[in-house]
């Protein structure tokens, strides 16, 4: 365990919740982390445990089958899981901060009653916005939805879709009227067994390997009109607002990764001996640990603050962008420093720090690159 004192800005209930998830992660997930990473497969029984523990519907109201928690509790769970395995954290992250949030904010009452209990109890959700030619330019998407009277027909491809191999419910963004540009973008709920919908190639990734990332292929896929999430032509708005929340989730992943790497680095420093004493006794190592701990704590406060603002109903766009930007940059720095503390051993797969390093890199890329976060921050600040 870390030698850093617990943060003082959590309530006793929140601290207990985070500790319970940390204990679960250490006991149930940690023994399988390296095997899952090597095989690029997440154990299905662990996902079942996520549902059993209520982790897949943390802030879904109890009336819809959820645990009735809040967004901040989702962030604590993501952080605690990422401390052991970022791939595990991603299941809980995407489900809570993107999919569940989108249904709660934009879904009709009928849609909430239909899908939220499934998402809370047994079915994994995925969020499908990115395309081969549409990454940072998220609204340059080419997937088309044609109005067929009683349904829409979706045609196109989605790329880099997290948890796609295991998901049953997909939030898919397509354009119903390309001549209107982004104002034609609409959100659709696509279920796995729909005709004309297939899961494509699973990517072979640098990090978060146990989490699936796949292509989605739509070939004249019929989607009932009651599966439109929100208003037709307003999908761009729901996408932007949902991603703002998702960025806080990415920040939580990054602080969890940093904490896990720092824990490992400090433990090793207290055991490894050189020149007749532990390397933890050398000032050079102490300075690296001190800097890493400071970067982690600063990142954590940004992430927690953004999550609190979201729950309070405040405008948190800038704070979410700052949290993701700062924590993802620092995650790469901290995990790199911990590899250096391990020396040659840190460069091997026999110790956990190389995986933390690989897992950290994606934080600066998905759900908005670091450049896009800086653009968002600057735009809002310059507007006053």
Catalytic residues, which ones? 367
Angle 256-261-264 (CA atoms, 0-180°, nearest 5)? 125
Residues 91, 56: contact at Cβ < 8 Å?
yes
String of b and e for 127-158 (b: at least 16 CB within 10 Å)? Answer: bbbbbeebbeebbebebbbeeeeebbbbbbbb
User: Which SS3 state, helix, strand or coil, does residue 154 take?
Assistant: strand
Q: What is the C-alpha to C-alpha distance for residues 362 and 98, in angstroms, rounded to an integer?
A: 17
Burial (CB < 10 A; 0-12, 13-18, 19+), residue 351, is middle
Q: What is the C-alpha to C-alpha distance for residues 107 and 189, in angstroms, rounded to an integer?
A: 10
Closest CA to 257 of 155, 327, 170: 327
Residues 308, 72: contact at Cβ < 8 Å?
yes
Length of the chain, please? 384
Residues 213, 205: contact at Cβ < 8 Å?
yes
Contacts of residue 240, defined as CB under 8 A and 6 or more positions apart, other chains included, come to none
Question: Strand 197-202 vs strand 185-191: parallel, antiparallel, or unpaired?
Answer: unpaired
Closest CA to 335 of 295, 302, 303: 295
Q: What is the C-alpha to C-alpha distance for residues 300 and 355, in angstroms, rounded to an integer?
A: 21
- For the four alpha carbons of 90, 163, 141 and 172, in that order, the dihedral sign comes to negative
Residues 259, 103: contact at Cβ < 8 Å?
no
Q: In Å, how far are 121, 134, 163, 237 from 186, measured between CA atoms?
A: 27, 15, 22, 9
Burial (CB < 10 A; 0-12, 13-18, 19+), residue 21, is buried
């Amino acid at each position: 365990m870390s030698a850093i004192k617990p943060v003082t800005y959590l309530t006793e209930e929140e601290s207990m919740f985070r500790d319970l998830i940390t204990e679960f992660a250490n006991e149930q997930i940690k023994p399988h982390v390296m095997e899952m990473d090597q095989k690029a497969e997440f154990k299905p029984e662990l996902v079942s445990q996520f549902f059993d523990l209520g982790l897949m519907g943390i802030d879904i109201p109890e009336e819809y089958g959820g645990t009735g928690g809040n967004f901040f509790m989702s962030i604590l769970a993501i952080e605690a899981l990422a401390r052991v395995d970022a791939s595990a954290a991603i299941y809980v992250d995407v489900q809570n901060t993107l999919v569940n949030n989108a249904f709660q904010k934009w879904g009709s009452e009928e849609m909430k009653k239909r899908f939220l209990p499934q998402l809370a109890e047994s079915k994994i959700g995925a969020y499908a916005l990115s395309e081969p030619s549409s990454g940072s330019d998220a609204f340059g998407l080419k997937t088309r939805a044609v109005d067929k009277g009683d349904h829409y027909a979706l045609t196109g491809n989605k790329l880099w879709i997290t948890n796609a191999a295991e998901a049953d419910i997909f939030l898919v963004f397509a354009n119903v009227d390309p001549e209107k540009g982004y104002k034609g973008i609409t959100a659709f709920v696509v279920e796995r067994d729909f005709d004309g919908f297939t899961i494509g190639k699973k990517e072979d990734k640098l990090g978060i390997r146990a989490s699936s990332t796949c292509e989605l292929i739509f070939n004249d896929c019929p989607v009932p009109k009651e599966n439109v999430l929100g208003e037709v032509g307003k999908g761009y708005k729901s996408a932007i607002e949902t991603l703002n929340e998702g960025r806080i989730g990415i920040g939580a992943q990054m602080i969890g990764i940093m904490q896990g790497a720092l824990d490992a680095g400090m433990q090793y420093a207290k055991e490894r001996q050189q020149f007749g004493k532990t390397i933890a006794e050398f000032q050079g190592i102490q300075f690296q640990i001190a800097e890493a701990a400071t970067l982690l704590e600063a990142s954590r406060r940004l992430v927690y603050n953004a999550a609190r603002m979201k729950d309070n109903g405040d405008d948190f766009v800038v704070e979410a962008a700052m949290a993701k930007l700062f924590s993802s940059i620092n995650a790469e720095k901290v995990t790199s420093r911990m590899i250096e503390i391990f020396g040659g051993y840190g460069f091997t797969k026999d110790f956990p720090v190389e995986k933390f390093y690989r897992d950290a890199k994606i934080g600066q890329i998905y759900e908005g690159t670091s450049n896009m976060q800086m653009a968002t921050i600057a735009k809002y600040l310059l507007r006053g």
